[in-house]
Amino acid sequence: MEICKRVEQVDFEKMNGLIPTIVQDYKTKEVLMLAYMSKESLNKTLEDNTTWFYSRSRDELWNKGATSGHFQHVKEIKIDCDNDTILIFAEQVGAACHTGNRTCFYRDL
């Protein structure tokens, strides 16, 4: 029941079913990545304490690290003031980026 209550705070409808989710290292606060969560992926994240996202390109849920072993162990989850963005503090195992970099934000603009 508690998980359900927390998920109901998130305004998935406002964002067409997907919520931008920022993942930060829980110790250093370094931004690791941005991905999108559906209600189902948020529920799975809350249930097993690893991050689950919704892949827009593959149209399916994915557990970060299931293929690479680079899991994100959730330490804390916050929601913004408008209930439409999630911030996850996680312990990152290995690289967060599919390129092999620790963070997806390794390039200057």
Question: In terms of pLDDT, which residue wins out, 8 or 43?
Answer: 43
What is the reported pTM?
0.91
- Which are the contacts of 35, defined by CB distance < 8 A and separation ≥ 6? 20, 21, 23, 51, 53, 54, 64
- For residues 74-88, give the mean pLDDT: 95
- For residues 83-103, give the mean pLDDT: 96
Q: What is the pLDDT of residue 4?
A: 52
